A and B are shown apart, each in its own frame.
Chain A
Amino acid sequence: MKWIHELRRLLRRSNRKISKEALAEAVTCEEAAERIFEWLDNELDPELEAKVGAHLETCARCYPFLVFEEAFQEAIAKVEQHETTPGELRDKIMQSLETEGFGSRSSSSD
């Protein structure tokens, strides 16, 4: 009965392949390019995400574009903003809040 298991395994693999190919063909290169940022940002609904993803990852024309845009997105996402609130400003903010009553009714004084 081993051959039955093997046949089922091959059928499953074949179905998956057909399914991915069908997904990839569900959108055109132009549509995939239009959606590339939304796809990279995980902002597409699951159905469209699967279609666009399948296309971008399997299309010889679109895949280099995906790699390029992904590199850009990663570079921007890792940018760190190092500015912190100046100490003087922090003090001014706390003073203005205290003038409004902040801290005058702390939980410990209940």
Chain B
Amino acid sequence: MNASAAHDDTFEAEALPQMDAVYRFALRLSKSEDRAQDLTQETFLRAYQNWEKYTQGTKVKSWLFTICRNLFLRTEERGKRHDEIVTGVADTDPRQISREATVFMAVRDRDPEGHFWREMVDARVLEAIDDLPDEFREAVILSDLEGLPYQEVAEIVDVPVGTVKSRLFRGRRILQEALYEYAVEEGIIGEPTAARIRNRGEASK
């Protein structure tokens, strides 16, 4: 087998099976089917042209996601905004965020074990993820939907692992709040009532 044939064979065996994953990642990033299609096509073209730079047997999905995300940032002209976010409010110290477990505080008298999370339909959770601010959405998609470890997320997003942690922390908190609101609206979990609040007050006396 010559080098060119090996090049194509390994690309076919390793990169092409990731097409659905790249398409879904592009969809979640861009929130547009047309943009996702363009991004996916361009990602595979770039990947093929640069296949010799990829180390076979390593994390091909992360490598493809990196290409896809870079294309997205470039084409969306989000670079400046992204840089502002990196050094701005997005990277709040997790210690400041951890006290904001507002959903747990809100439901602990009704559903302290969080059974209502299990009642969420997948489509609604994905919608809520799509609605997250960009930098938090990336972290949640890569960690929670794709199951990538923090280090790989950090490499794709090109930020320190500590930044991934804080974005993930904040992103999950925002997601919890959005899903809780939805759960209340849909009657999956009841609203806190005056009686409950009164009972809780009396019980604590």
Residue pair A64, B45 in contact (C-beta under 8 Å): no
Q: B20 interface residue, CB < 8 Å from A?
A: yes
Residue pair A102, B48 in contact (C-beta under 8 Å): yes
Interchain nearest-CB distance for A104 vs B (Å): 8
State the majority secondary structure of interface residues on A.
Answer: helix
User: How many chain A residues have a CB neighbour from B under 8 Å?
Assistant: 44
Most buried by B among A83, A86, A100: A83
User: With contacts A80-B122, A83-B24 known, is A107 near B6, CB below 8 A?
Assistant: yes
User: With contacts A64-B108, A67-B112, A105-B5 known, is A84 near B20, CB below 8 A?
Assistant: yes
Name the residue of chain B whose CB is nearest to the CB of A106: B5
Q: In whole angstroms, how far apart are the Cα atoms of A74 and B126 in the complex?
A: 15
Residue pair A89, B37 in contact (C-beta under 8 Å): yes
Residue pair A38, B165 in contact (C-beta under 8 Å): yes
Interchain nearest-CB distance for B191 vs A (Å): 18
Residue pair B104, A37 in contact (C-beta under 8 Å): no
Which of A33, A75, A92, A106 lies in contact with B8, CB distance below 8 A? A106
Name the residue of chain A whose CB is nearest to the CB of B8: A102
Interchain nearest-CB distance for B102 vs A (Å): 12
Q: Which chain B residues in 131-176 approach chain A with CB under 8 Å?
A: 140, 143-145, 147, 149-150, 165, 168-169, 172, 175-176
Interface footprint category on B: 35 or more
Name the residue of chain A whose CB is nearest to the CB of B47: A97
Neighbouring B residues of A71 by C-beta, 8 Å: 113-115, 117-118
Q: A69 interface residue, CB < 8 Å from B?
A: yes
Neighbouring B residues of A34 by C-beta, 8 Å: 94-95, 98
Residue pair A67, B11 in contact (C-beta under 8 Å): no
Neighbouring B residues of A97 by C-beta, 8 Å: 44-45, 48
Q: A14 interface residue, CB < 8 Å from B?
A: no
Residue pair A89, B23 in contact (C-beta under 8 Å): yes
Residue pair B45, A68 in contact (C-beta under 8 Å): no
Q: Which residues of A contact B (CB under 8 A)?
A: 30, 33-34, 36-38, 41, 43, 64-65, 67-77, 79-86, 89-90, 92-93, 96-97, 100-103, 105-107, 109-110
Q: Which residues of B contact A (CB under 8 A)?
A: 1-2, 4-6, 8-9, 11, 19-20, 23-24, 27-28, 37, 40-41, 44-45, 48-49, 94-95, 98-99, 101, 104, 107-108, 112-115, 117-118, 120, 122, 125-126, 140, 143-145, 147, 149-150, 165, 168-169, 172, 175-176
Q: A105-B8, A106-B9 are in contact. List 16 more A-B contacts (CB 8 A).
A: A37-B169, A64-B113, A67-B113, A67-B114, A71-B115, A71-B118, A75-B114, A79-B145, A83-B23, A83-B27, A85-B19, A89-B40, A102-B8, A105-B2, A105-B5, A107-B6
